[in-house]
Amino acid sequence: MAVTVVFIGKLADLAGEGEREVTAPLSWGGLEDALGADLAEAASQDRTKIAVNGAVLADKTTLQAKDGDEVALLPPVSGG
């Protein structure tokens, strides 16, 4: 049973990969543990968003992903 965690933009650079499989079910605390210190710190920043199966969470700490779900970490966007 697994959840696919997808890293976008600079978070993919930080992770050194575009995606990673982690054990399901997955909560916010479990995601932080699976990411490691640097990625967890980046993910916890206010401007970093988390989406589950394409739906952005209003409060990332409510993350509850189950087997087969995709969790995307979305870094802040810049540009004009």
pLDDT digits (tens, 9 = 90+) for 8-49: 999 999 999 999 999 999 999 999 999 999 999 999 999 999
pLDDT number for residue 2: 97
- Burial class of residue 77 in the structure, from the number of CB atoms within 10 Å of its CB (0-12 exposed, 13-18 middle, 19+ buried): exposed
What CA–CA distance (Å, rounded) separates 8 from 13?
8
Q: What is the value of pTM for the model shown?
A: 0.93
pLDDT number for residue 5: 98
Contact 22, 31 (CB under 8 A): yes
CB atoms within 10 A of CB 54: 7
pLDDT number for residue 76: 86
Residue 80, pLDDT > 70, answer no
